[in-house]
Amino acid sequence: MSFKNTYLPVATLLQSKGKLLDLSRPQIMGIINATPDSFFAGSRKRGTEEMLQRAEEMIRQTAVILDIGGVSTRPGADNVSEQEETDRIIPAIELLNRHFPETWLSVDTYRSSVARQAVAAGAHIVNDISGGLFDDTMLSAVAEMGVPYILMHLRGTPETMHQPSGYANVTEGVYEDLRQALRRCTDAGIKDVILDPGFGFSKTLQENYDLMNHLSALRGMGRPVLTGISRKSIIYKTLGNTAEEALNGTTALHMVALQQGSTLLRVHDVAAAREAINLFEML
């Protein structure tokens, strides 16, 4: 499959609740998990003071978006009810919106009811790991709310999404899946969509690296591309270390992603990501 003749100008300006966010230059999304069991312990922030301190630090280090999640998507994570997810996320978003009103907030959820409550509480973006596959009312809800949508790629169900799905060619498979999902988004009426290839989901270790090496192909759909590889197992399994030791590997792959055209990095370590972006821009 050739992507050379499918490239479109990339829409880089996001709009939400009267705010504008320009992704013509690389930007950073900082991860804050309101959970007790996320795979990287450093991202778990549940108390009010701890969450505020972490958010303030990330904003000072130039994160333009804070992504708030209430359900761990690591392999083997416990199932969390909709009520528990809501109880974790909504107070966090209200708190951060109150203290940092100029900062964009993203809600990391695949449930439309949680997304609705989060946007009402102050969130500006819906970040859905399922790309609308786990809740058939998600796309219409996002369109109705008029906020940007992060469309992540995976195959399977919450129980099987970490299992390889068998691609003849992973880049072509992800491209085609996202192309069809993007069409569903636009048909639903969603205006601003960010593409996330879903590193670590439904792909073998080697497929993740093959996809990274051809990430620029996704820009052929004319949408900004988010890369979320921060401290993931694709790094520490390759290097034989742990999530706590995977910052250097994360930074190395961030530079590759930037060279491949990604303009949004979803990260645990904002300062290191900013250094990578600064050096990339010098190049």
Sequence-distant (6+) residues with CB within 8 A of 54 are 32, 45
Q: Which residues pair with 193 in a beta bridge?
A: 149
Q: What percent of the chain has pLDDT over 90?
A: 80
Instruction: Establish if 148 belongs to a structural domain.
Output: yes
Sequence-distant (6+) residues with CB within 8 A of 208 are 199, 200, 229, 234
pLDDT grade, residue 175 (50/70/90)? very high
The set of catalytic residues is 232, 266
The whole-number average pLDDT for the span 37-53 is 64
Do the beta carbons of residue 128 and residue 148 sit within 8 Å? Answer: no
pLDDT the model gives residue 45:
47
Instruction: Establish if 239 belongs to a structural domain.
Output: yes
Instruction: Establish if 271 belongs to a structural domain.
Output: yes
Instruction: Establish if 7 belongs to a structural domain.
Output: no
The number of distinct structural domains making up the chain is 1
Instruction: Establish if 8 belongs to a structural domain.
Output: no
* Residues 82-94: tens digit of each pLDDT: 999 999 999 999 9
The whole-number average pLDDT for the span 51-60 is 95
Q: In whole angstroms, give the CA distance from residue 170 to residue 136.
A: 25
- Its domain, for residue 263, covers 25-282
Q: Which residues pair with 195 in a beta bridge?
A: 151, 225
* Residues 97-127: tens digit of each pLDDT: 999 999 999 999 999 999 999 999 999 999 9
The secondary structure of the chain as a DSSP string is: ---GGG------EEEETTEEEE-SS-EEEEEEE-SS--SSGGGB--SHHHHHHHHHHHHHTT-SEEEEESS--STTPPP--HHHHHHHHHHHHHHHHHH-TTSEEEEE-S-HHHHHHHHHHT--EEEETTTTSS-TTHHHHHHHHT--EEEE---S-TTTTTS----SSHHHHHHHHHHHHHHHHHHHT---EEEE--TTSS--HHHHHHHHHTGGGGGGGSS-BEE--TT-HHHHHHHTS-GGG-HHHHHHHHHHHHHTT--EEEES-HHHHHHHHHHHHH-
Strands 13-16 and 19-22: what pairing? antiparallel
* Residues 205-238: tens digit of each pLDDT: 999 999 999 999 999 999 999 999 999 999 999 9
CATH code of residue 47: 3.20.20.20
pLDDT grade, residue 34 (50/70/90)? confident
pLDDT the model gives residue 47:
75
pLDDT the model gives residue 157:
66
Q: In whole angstroms, give the CA distance from residue 51 to residue 31.
A: 11
Instruction: Establish if 11 belongs to a structural domain.
Output: no
pLDDT the model gives residue 79:
76
Instruction: Establish if 131 belongs to a structural domain.
Output: yes
pTM of the full structure: 0.91
